[in-house]
Amino acid sequence: ATIVSTRVLRPQYAVFWAAFFNFIAFIFFGLHVAETIGRGIVSADIVTPQVVFAALVGAIAWNIITWLYGIPSSSSHALIGGLVGGAVAKAGSVAIVWSGLLKTVAAIVLSPLTGFVLALVLILTVSWIFVRQTPFAVDNTFRTLQFVSASLYSLGHGGNDAQKTMGIIAVLLYSQGMLGGEFYVPFWVVITCQAMLALGTLFGGWRIVHTMGSKITRLNPMQGFCAETGGAITLFGATWLGIPVSTTHTITGAIVGVGAARRISAVRWGIAGSIVIAWVITMPSTALIAACCYGIVALFS
């Protein structure tokens, strides 16, 4: 979205670019996030196909609702909320691994703030370094650098987001005894999830690109570079630590950071506010949908 906002790439080319780096992300990262999702938020021993089904229904329903309205809500929040809702509906609060859930919730809150701070520091530093350059020279430099920053951010997106689905599939296989009693993520699961994330970006990213790329604040190439770099650093750190975070809200925080560095009024706070509201209500909403879905499924099981 940021590379579209700065007019470095047309939307269709940017989506292809992002999808490619989404797909190859598994080459660069371990599977720590998948392990956290698989056994670090709810107990793997209570997971059943019904729990996973309820979790996915909750997450998918919420993703479709927010996609229809063009609201960049978090698929990560939705999936985690759905998993917690389905597990609690089955076994009560004992199903939750509280240390993992609290760590994940803390990271969900801190990741957009980290993106905001890093992007703000980067834009102030870069502006000082290039203060004597002409606007034309600065734009040309950062148009090139934005290809690098956009690629890094897409790698971070692919590395963190695809692993959440990997964790769900792996824990389902584990619960059915299909992994030989040891939790791990099979390679075919890795490839399938990376491919599906890339295809989702390719075919479903247009509405969100429009909101993120133009409605929050206007960006020039230097600002786009700083937003993407700040977001990428945040995602790389979270992925290597095995923490599932919202890639959507990380880049939102970074975009707001570079906009606020220009002037506070440069940020369309109404749009940013609607994103924050979606941020707050996503996990409770998907947990409730998943719990209701599990209750319905349990009646017929």
- The pLDDT tens digits of the residues spanning 118-170 come to 999 999 999 999 988 888 888 889 988 988 998 999 999 899 989 998 999 99
pLDDT at 5: 73
Mean pLDDT score of the chain: 87
Which residue type does 213 have?
G
Domain ranges of the chain: 11-292
Q: Look up residue 237 and give its two tokens.
A: 């750190």
Instruction: Decide if pLDDT at 288 tops 90.
Output: yes
Among residues 186, 202, 250, the alpha carbon closest in space to that of 23 is found at 202
Instruction: Decide if pLDDT at 261 tops 90.
Output: no
- Please count the other Cβ atoms lying within 10 Å of the Cβ belonging to residue 240: 15
Residue for token digits 């707050």?
280
Q: In this structure, are residues 253 and 114 in contact, taking their beta carbons and an 8 Å threshold?
A: yes
Q: In this structure, are residues 301 and 160 in contact, taking their beta carbons and an 8 Å threshold?
A: no
pLDDT at 212: 61
- For 44, phi and psi rounded to 5 degrees? -65, -25
For the range 178-187, what are the long-range contacts, defined as Cβ-Cβ under 8 Å and sequence gap of 24 or more? 183/35, 183/38, 183/39, 183/44, 185/31, 185/34, 185/35, 185/38
Which residue type does 11 have?
P
Q: How confident is the model at residue 268 (pLDDT cuts 50, 70, 90)?
A: low
Residues of the chain with pLDDT > 70: what percent? 91
Identify which has the larger pLDDT, 150 or 292: 292
- Please count the other Cβ atoms lying within 10 Å of the Cβ belonging to residue 223: 29
Largest CA distance in the chain: 71
Model pTM greater than 0.75? yes
Instruction: Decide if pLDDT at 104 tops 70.
Output: yes
pLDDT at 220: 84
Whole-angstrom distance, CA of residue 226 vs CA of residue 179: 43
pLDDT at 286: 95
DSSP state, 41?
A: S
Q: How confident is the model at residue 115 (pLDDT cuts 50, 70, 90)?
A: very high
Q: In this structure, are residues 257 and 123 in contact, taking their beta carbons and an 8 Å threshold?
A: yes
Whole-angstrom distance, CA of residue 244 vs CA of residue 153: 15
- For 31, phi and psi rounded to 5 degrees? -115, 35
180: left (phi over 0), alpha (psi -120 to 50) or beta: left
- Mean pLDDT, range 191-210, rounded to an integer: 81
Ordered DSSP codes for 196-207: HHHHHHHHH-HH
Q: Enumerate residues 6+ apart whose C-beta is below 8 A from 144.
A: none
Considering 100-109, 151-160, 285-294, the range whose residues carry the highest mean pLDDT is 285-294
Q: How confident is the model at residue 276 (pLDDT cuts 50, 70, 90)?
A: confident
Instruction: Decide if pLDDT at 266 tops 70.
Output: no
Among residues 64, 157, 115, 150, the alpha carbon closest in space to that of 251 is found at 115
Write b or e for each residue in 37-69: b if 16 or more Cβ atoms lie within 10 A of its Cβ, otherwise e: bbbbbbbbebbbebbbbbbbbbbbbbbeebbee
What is the dihedral sign for C-alpha 205, 163, 158, 21? negative
Instruction: Decide if pLDDT at 214 tops 70.
Output: no
pLDDT at 167: 93
